[in-house]
């Protein structure tokens, strides 16, 4: 009888795991690189749960040489005892049944459980081999699975005085398109988890290479997160403002700090998941902030005779904040399930922010003064920007047509077929105009450098002539989406925006200025992949009648080696686009059949923000360090 039941239950779990193997994307999002990395997060999340329950403070991740992964923790260890109802060991149950986790731990709620909340059984199903060692009751238990199917019952293989869980798995190459892990991608998430779960030590060790190891542990939690995000910014007050509290069975943790930049940088998490589409916790925070600061302003009559209206966005200028909530029944909404739906959270966060931030403002008048001054300046600038935008629009209407005079437009009108080259200087612009295919390629020559938007408020940005010209040419308008005159990607006139600058220091600077502008004021263009960087050749190598264009030094060395027998080899180094004639420029850099374009991507918002602040911000020292550190390594700035 019991044997029969055992078999019945085993078959049931096999069927469950079979479903995972048949439709892996339904459980882990995709079978691409993101799904692959998700396997690691799924296992780590279980260890994090153990840490949140107060039983674990160390998690170690190893990427092995054969692309298998070990995650170990010093928690209680997955229970191994025989589970009467299910007729198998608890360990087998956890590793072979979907959503088995809740069956054991009724007392403490499961918090992380991954983006899709599927548990380690999915990792097991999608691994060609998974081995687990449990350190518990002074024994070491061992069990092995192949594609989710146990090889044998759980065995005792030794004794120990430690406790914990060690899971080693090798993702199944029949399932995943790529089985190669990225140290940087894993590191980024593990660092984030260490910020979000203060006091937990998380390490990652890459055995594929010799020097790659990180240890993350942040006793300061979210406060350390803010300091990391704002490492290169100048704060308005020395310490981040931090609160944390448990209310109505919801754990809230908020850290915030104002800096002297004009960028708003708010990250929200629910149960350790980065809710990039925000949701209830984020909207509660924003409402609370607006209500609290506005109350403070009117109570202390700080606007005096200033007739300006302060909006929410003014109160968030130069604000870096992290909001983390942990709750027992998170509802994740939206296509990517990255928006917190539990509407009750909004009111709780709002009233919490009003209470504690209100108290902070009262108790710290000198900090409050700086914050309020900044808010008022932002409102004044926003109003000035609106007027500048109106003037700019009236001017283009009067100019007729609304396209800048310097733009050599293309004849094709379908944006999907069109591209625009933003070119440094009039001479290169001239060559580009002659070399282009005028049916679908437009040329916009820039004179000199555009404004560094990292150091300018919105009103200045909008009044800058070269920026106005770029905005007019693109056709998208400019500014926050919320106001109806703002940026609208559907009006974009060219599917590809190609930055084409000289391969020298000035060219790199102009490129970075343009990228900073797009990143800060038209981030959608970068998110949607519309922005490209042209790659002009660095050298022309000639021998007799044979000519080769070369795009980097390695390529040059290869050709020189290949041609080592020949005499009369000449090498021409191109310092500027202007040194090429129109035909050469077209062949090497503009013609879609022969050119190389670099697509600018934003894979990591946090890193991108840090890089731009560093390159373009006020602080000189970190910039110098970055350039020194990377001068020899970086060929292309990928943000």
User: CA–CA separation, 557 vs 310, rounded Å?
Assistant: 60
User: CA–CA separation, 512 vs 502, rounded Å?
Assistant: 12
Q: Which of 38, 56, 184 is closest to 113 using CA atoms?
A: 38
The span of 12-20, 43-51, 191-199, 612-620 binding ligand 0RA (CB under 6 A) equals 43-51
Ramachandran assignment for 599, one of left (phi > 0), alpha (psi -120 to 50 degrees), beta (any other): beta
Given the residues 177, 504, 557, 583, the one annotated as active site: 504
User: CA–CA separation, 42 vs 522, rounded Å?
Assistant: 34
Given the residues 230, 317, 459, 502, the one annotated as active site: 502
Q: Choose which of 29, 35, 75, 114 interacts with ligand 0RA (CB under 6 A).
A: 75
Interaction of residue 197 with ligand 0RA, rule CB under 6 A: no
Quote the least distance from Cβ 164 to ligand 0RA, whole Å.
7
Q: Choose which of 20, 40, 61, 78 interacts with ligand 0RA (CB under 6 A).
A: 78
Interaction of residue 230 with ligand 0RA, rule CB under 6 A: no
The span of 45-53, 145-153, 403-411, 562-570 binding ligand 0RA (CB under 6 A) equals 45-53
Interaction of residue 46 with ligand 0RA, rule CB under 6 A: yes
Q: Choose which of 14, 18, 64, 104 interacts with ligand 0RA (CB under 6 A).
A: 104
Strands 155-159, 139-146: pairing is antiparallel
> If you write DSSP's letter for every residue of 115-148 in order, what string do you get?
SS---HHHHHHTEEEEEEEEEETTEEEEEEEETT
Interaction of residue 73 with ligand 0RA, rule CB under 6 A: yes
Given the residues 260, 506, 579, 604, the one annotated as active site: 506
Q: Which of 132, 123, 129 is closest to 153 using CA atoms?
A: 132
Q: Which is nearer to ligand 0RA, 33 or 163 (CB)?
A: 163
Strands 441-446, 496-500: pairing is unpaired
Given the residues 350, 424, 454, 459, the one annotated as active site: 424
User: CA–CA separation, 268 vs 323, rounded Å?
Assistant: 5
Interaction of residue 165 with ligand 0RA, rule CB under 6 A: yes
Interaction of residue 369 with ligand 0RA, rule CB under 6 A: no
CA triplet 50, 56, 62: central angle to 5 degrees? 95
How many residues touch ligand 0RA under the rule CB under 6 A: the total is: 12
Q: Which is nearer to ligand 0RA, 106 or 570 (CB)?
A: 106
The span of 42-50, 257-265, 327-335, 458-466 binding ligand 0RA (CB under 6 A) equals 42-50
User: CA–CA separation, 7 vs 80, rounded Å?
Assistant: 19
Q: Choose which of 21, 58, 64, 76 interacts with ligand 0RA (CB under 6 A).
A: 76
Interaction of residue 60 with ligand 0RA, rule CB under 6 A: no
SS3 assignment for 291-334: HHHHHHHHHCCCCCCCCCCCCHHHHCCCEEEEEEEECCCCCEEC
Mark whether 506 is an active-site residue: yes
The span of 75-83, 176-184, 412-420, 424-432 binding ligand 0RA (CB under 6 A) equals 75-83
The span of 16-24, 76-84, 494-502, 530-538 binding ligand 0RA (CB under 6 A) equals 76-84
User: CA–CA separation, 566 vs 419, rounded Å?
Assistant: 41
Mark whether 192 is an active-site residue: no
User: CA–CA separation, 609 vs 625, rounded Å?
Assistant: 17
Sign of CA dihedral 481, 485, 490, 495: negative
Q: Are 176 and 128 in contact (CB under 8 A)?
A: no
Interaction of residue 81 with ligand 0RA, rule CB under 6 A: no
Quote the least distance from Cβ 41 to ligand 0RA, whole Å.
12
Q: Tell me how far CA of residue 234 lies from CA of 96, 121, 381, 609, in angstroms.
A: 51, 46, 20, 14
User: CA–CA separation, 370 vs 148, rounded Å?
Assistant: 59
* Residue closest to ligand 0RA, measured at CB: 46
Reduced to 3 DSSP states, what percent helix, strand and coil does the chain have, rounded to the nearest 5? Answer: 40, 20, 35
Mark whether 504 is an active-site residue: yes
Ranges within 490-529 binding ligand 0RA (CB under 6 A): none
Interaction of residue 200 with ligand 0RA, rule CB under 6 A: no
Quote the least distance from Cβ 86 to ligand 0RA, whole Å.
13
Q: Which is nearer to ligand 0RA, 100 or 432 (CB)?
A: 100
Interaction of residue 89 with ligand 0RA, rule CB under 6 A: no
Q: Which is nearer to ligand 0RA, 197 or 227 (CB)?
A: 197
Mark whether 547 is an active-site residue: no
Q: Which residues form the interface with ligand 0RA (CB under 6 A)?
A: 46-47, 50, 73, 75-76, 78-79, 94, 104-105, 165
Active site residues: 424, 502, 504, 506
């Amino acid at each position: 009888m019991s044997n029969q039941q055992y078999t019945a239950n085993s078959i049931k779990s096999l069927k469950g795991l079979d479903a995972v193997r048949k439709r892996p994307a339904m459980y882990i999002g995709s079978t691409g690189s993101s799904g692959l990395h998700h396997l690691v997060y799924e296992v780590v999340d279980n260890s994090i749960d153990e840490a949140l329950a107060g039983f674990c403070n160390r998690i170690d991740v190893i990427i092995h040489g054969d692309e298998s992964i070990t995650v170990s923790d010093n928690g209680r260890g997955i229970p191994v005892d025989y589970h009467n109802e299910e007729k198998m060991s608890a360990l087998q149950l956890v590793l072979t049944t979907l959503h088995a986790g809740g069956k054991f731990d009724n007392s403490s709620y499961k918090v992380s459980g991954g983006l899709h909340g599927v548990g380690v059984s999915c990792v097991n199903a999608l691994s060609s081999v998974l081995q687990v060692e449990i350190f518990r009751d002074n024994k070491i238990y061992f069990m092995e699975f192949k594609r989710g199917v146990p090889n044998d019952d759980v065995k005792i293989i030794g004794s120990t005085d430690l406790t914990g869980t060690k899971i080693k798995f090798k993702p199944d190459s029949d399932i995943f398109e790529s089985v190669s892990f990225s140290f940087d991608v894993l590191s980024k998430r593990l660092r984030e988890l260490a910020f979000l779960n203060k006091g937990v030590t998380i390490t990652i060790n890459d055995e594929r290479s010799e020097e790659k190891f990180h240890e993350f542990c942040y006793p300061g939690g979210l406060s350390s997160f803010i300091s990391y995000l704002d490492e290169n910014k100048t704060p308005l007050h020395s310490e981040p403002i931090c609160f944390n509290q448990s209310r109505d069975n919801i754990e809230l943790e908020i850290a915030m700090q104002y800096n002297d930049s004009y960028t708003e940088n708010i990250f929200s998490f629910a149960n350790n998941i980065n809710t990039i589409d925000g949701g209830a916790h984020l909207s509660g925070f924003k409402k609370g902030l607006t209500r609290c600061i506005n109350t403070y302003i009117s109570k202390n009559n700080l606007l005096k005779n200033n007739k300006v209206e302060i909006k929410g966005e003014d109160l968030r200028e130069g604000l870096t904040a992290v909001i983390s909530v942990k709750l027992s029944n998170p509802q994740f909404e939206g296509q990517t399930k990255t928006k917190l739906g539990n509407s009750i959270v909004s009111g709780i966060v709002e009233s919490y922010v009003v209470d504690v931030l209100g108290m902070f403002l009262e108790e710290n008048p000198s900090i409050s003064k700086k914050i309020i001054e900044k808010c008022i300046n932002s409102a004044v600038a926003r109003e000035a920007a609106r007027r500048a935008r109106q003037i700019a629009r009236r001017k283009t209407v009067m100019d007729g047509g609304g396209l800048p005079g310097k733009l050599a437009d293309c004849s094709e009108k379908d944006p999907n077929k069109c591209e625009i080259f933003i070119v440094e200087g009039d001479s290169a612009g001239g060559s580009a105009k002659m070399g282009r295919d005028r049916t679908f390629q437009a040329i916009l020559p820039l004179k000199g450098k555009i404004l560094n938007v990292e150091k300018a408020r919105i009103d200045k940005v909008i009044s800058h002539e070269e920026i106005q010209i770029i905005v007019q040419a693109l056709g998208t308008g400019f500014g926050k989406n919320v106001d109806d005159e703002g940026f609208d990607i559907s009006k974009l006139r060219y599917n590809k925006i190609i930055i084409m600058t000289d391969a020298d220091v000035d060219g790199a600077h102009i490129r970075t200025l343009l990228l900073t502008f797009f990143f800060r004021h038209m981030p959608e263009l970068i998110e949607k992949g519309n922005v490209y960087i042209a790659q002009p050749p660095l050298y022309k190598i000639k021998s007799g009648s044979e000519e080769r264009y070369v795009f980097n030094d390695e390529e040059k060395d290869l050709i020189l080696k290949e041609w080592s027998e020949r005499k009369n080899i000449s090498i021409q180094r191109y310092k500027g686009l202007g040194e090429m004639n129109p035909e050469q420029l077209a062949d090497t850099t503009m013609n879609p059949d022969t050119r190389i374009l670099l697509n600018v991507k934003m894979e990591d918002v946090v890193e991108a923000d840090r890089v731009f602040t560093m390159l373009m911000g006020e602080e000189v020292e970190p910039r110098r360090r970055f350039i020194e550190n990377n001068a020899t390594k970086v060929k292309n700035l990928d943000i």
